Amino acid sequence: MVTINVCVGSACHLKGSYKIIEKFEKLIKDYNVEDKVELKGSFCLGHCVEAVSTEIYGEIFSINEDNIEMFFKEKVLGGRK
Ligand code: FES
């Protein structure tokens, strides 16, 4: 099981955390990995400038609607490097 933490702190919230969470939910369904991927909201991850901050395997990434699918395929489905 891998956990994706999406920041819902104020800076990230303003930049669309909830849209990103919805997109992740859809990707998890589309790729049929509900039993492998867990999605959580998190408090400020300390990278507000990079909103929407998303943490996986201890690394923080800046996720938007353009890079979310690539991120999902590479980092989530691709697993830990
Ligand atoms: S509010 Fe998201 S990293 Fe600070």
pLDDT digits (tens, 9 = 90+) for 30-64: 999 999 999 999 999 999 998 899 999 999 999 99
Percent of the chain scoring above 70 in pLDDT = 99
pLDDT in the model for residue 50: 84
- Mean residue pLDDT of the chain comes to 95
From first CA to last CA, the distance across the chain in angstroms is 15
Cβ of 7 less than 6 Å from ligand 1 = yes
Query: Could you tell me if the CB of 67 is within 6 A of ligand 1?
Result: no
Alpha-carbon separation of residue 15 from 7, 43, 52, 60, 79 (angstroms): 10, 14, 6, 16, 26
Contact call for residues 19 and 65 (beta carbons, < 8 A): yes
* Closest atom of ligand 1 to CA, residue 45: 3
Residues paired with residue 73 on neighbouring β-strands, in sequence order: none
- Give pTM, 2 decimals: 0.94
